[in-house]
Structure 1
Amino acid sequence: MEEIAIEVKDVHVIYRSMKSFSVRKSLGQIRQRRDCYEALKGVSFTVPKGKIIGIIGKNGSGKSTLLKTIAGVFSPDEGEINTFGNRLSLLAIGVGFQSNLSGFENIFLSGLLLGFSEKEIRRRLPEIIEFSELGDFIYKPVSSYSSGMYSKLAFSITAILDTEIILIDEVLSVGDINFREKSYAKMKEIISDHDKTVMIVSHSNASILELCDDVLWIHDGLVKEYGPAAQVVENYEGFMQRYRRRHANDAKKGQ
C-alpha cells in the first residue's frame, strides 16, 4: 500500500473583499457591500509519497490558491489538508520573505520557519549564497530585488534546505536563462530522490510532461481530471483549443 504524503479533503477557499461603502448620514450608519469569490469549490485528492505532480489549468482556475492552502498560507473555509508531519516548502514569487530584511537575514528566517535549526542553516549557508548568484546583493533588503533576484534566492533556499514536500509555483520560469537552466537541472536532481514529494504549477506543458508522474487539472476551482501526465495534458490541450475557439467566435459576434 502506497504511503500518502498529502491528503486534501473537500477543500473550499473563499475570497472576501469590501468593494465599496456609502454613508447614510440620516441614520449615521455605514452600509458595506461584500463580494465573495469561491476560488476552490470542494477539491479532494491524495498525493503518494515520492510522486511528482503537475498542476495545470487556465488562469484563475485556483492553482496557486491550492498550493498556498496546502502550504498553510491560506486556511480553508471548509475541508481538511493533512501533510502527515512532513516538512514542507513553498516556492512562489511574493510569498515567504520579509521585504525590509536582507537576503542573508531571510535565509535564516525561512530556514527556521521550515523547521531547521540555526546550526543546520549555518552549515548550508555558503552553498545557498553561492547557488543564488546574488553576490553582495545578499546583504541588501529584499525590497530592492527584482523578481528574478527574488526567485533566485527563493529557489536556492528550497533547493539546498531539503524538505520532504516541495511546492513550486511557476518560479522555474523566472530569472535569466542561465539560472533557469541551472535551477531546472537542480530540480530534476531533487525530484529524482524518491523520498521527495513535489507539486508543480506551470503553464509549460513541456516541463510538466518531462518532470511529472501525474497531473492534476483544476478548472474553475474544481478537479477536472487527475491521472497520468500524458493523458491529462492531452485532454487539457484539446479543451483549451476548443475554449479559445469558442471565445474567439463570441468576440466576433460581439463586434
Structure 2
Amino acid sequence: MPRTSETDARIIVRNVDKRFVLRHTHSLKETFISLIRRKSLVTTFEALHDIDFEIGEGESVALLGFNGSGKSTLLKLMSGVLRPDRGQILTRGRIAGLIEVGAGFHPDLSGRENVYLNAAILGMSRKEVDERFDDIVAFSEIGDFIDTEVKHYSSGMFVRLAFAVAIHTTLDIMLVDEVLSVGDEPFQKKCIAKLRELQSQGKTMVVVSHDLDTVSRLCERGILINKGRVVFDGGSADAVAAMRAG
C-alpha cells in the first residue's frame, strides 16, 4: 500500500471505488443452460463509490452502516488486504489489524507457534515477541492451552489470542472489525480498556462494530456508509443518531 508523509493524516482515502464480480453459475450444466437462455453469467456489484476522507493522527473513528453497506470492505482496503478499482488509499505508519479473526493463524500449529507467526506477519521481530510473549499470553487468558493446536480452540479463544498479539505490536494505526462483540463481557471490557490506553498514547484507530453504544463512547468521530457511499461524517454520537434514524 502506498505511504504518504505529506500531511499529518495517518489515512487518506481519495475517490475510492470498489467493485466485485458476482458469478451466478456453479457447474458446467448451469453455465450451459444460462448460455442457451442468454442469461448473464456474472453481474457487477459496486461495494463502494467515490469514498473520500482523511483520518488524522490520534483520531478514533467508527465506520458505521448496516450489513452490506461496505464498511468492512473499506476496512480491508485500508489494511491493504484489498485494492481499490479507482482512487487511492495512503497510510502513514505501521498498521495492526483485526480484520478477519485468525487471518494468518495456521490451524495445525500451536498457540505459541501462531503467536510468533502472526506477530512476524504484523512486522515484529523474534526478539520483540520474546520480550512480549508472557504479556500476550496473560492478556489472551489462554493459559495452558498456549501449546495446543489452535484448530482445537473455541472461537472466543481464537479471538482473544489474535487480539492479544495485535495490541502488543508496535503500531501507529489499529483497525478493528467486530472483535469487540466476541467473547464474554469481562474480556470485552478489558479489550476496550486496552483500546483506550492506545488512544491515550496517540494511536489512530478505526473501528467497525454493530455495538453502537460502545463505538460512540470509544470513538469521537463517526463515518456512516449507506449502499457504498458516505452519507455522514461527524461526531460519533451524531453518526449513531443518523444511523438509527435510518
Same-fold status (TM-score > 0.5): yes
Task: With the length of structure 1 as denominator, give the TM-score of the two structures.
Answer: 0.84
Deviation at 1:134, TM superposition (A): 0.8
Q: Which residue number corresponds to residue 201 of structure 1?
A: 208
Q: Which runs of 5+ in 2 are unaligned?
A: 1-5, 34-38
Aligned length: 233
Identity %, equivalent residues: 38
Deviation at 1:187, TM superposition (A): 1.5
In structure 2, the residue corresponding to 1:230 is in which secondary structure?
A: helix
Paired residue for 2:97, among 87, 90, 115?
Answer: 90
Paired residue for 2:9, among 1, 4, 11?
Answer: 4
Q: Which runs of 5+ in 1 are unaligned?
A: 26-30, 240-255
Which deviates further from its counterpart, 3-12 or 139-148? 139-148
The CA deviation string for residues 58-114 of structure 1, in whole angstroms up to 9 with x for no partner, is 111011111111111112222211102x11011132533223322212211221122
Q: Is structure 2 residue 122 aligned with structure 1 residue 114?
A: yes
Contact 1:12 1:42 (C-alpha < 8 Å) held by counterparts: yes
Q: Which residue number corresponds to residue 40 of structure 1?
A: 48
Task: With the length of structure 2 as denominator, give the TM-score of the two structures.
Answer: 0.87
The CA deviation string for residues 155-210 of structure 1, in whole angstroms up to 9 with x for no partner, is 1111222310000011011112221121121121121212x000011111211221
**1:142-221, aligned counterparts within 5 Å?**
142-194=150-202, 196-221=203-228
Which deviates further from its counterpart, 74-83 or 47-56? 74-83
Q: Is structure 2 residue 25 aligned with structure 1 residue 16?
A: no
Q: Which residue number corresponds to residue 36 of structure 2?
A: none
Q: In structure 1, what residue type is equivalent to 2:19?
A: I
Q: CA 1:213/1:135 → structure 2, altered by over 3 Å: closer, same or farther?
A: same
Q: Is structure 2 residue 75 aligned with structure 1 residue 67?
A: yes
Q: In structure 1, what residue type is equivalent to 2:23?
A: M
Q: In structure 2, what residue type is equivalent to 1:153?
A: L
Contact 2:60 2:204 (C-alpha < 8 Å) held by counterparts: yes
Contact 1:40 1:62 (C-alpha < 8 Å) held by counterparts: yes
Q: CA 1:130/1:225 → structure 2, altered by over 3 Å: closer, same or farther?
A: same
RMSD between superposed Cα atoms in Å: 2.2
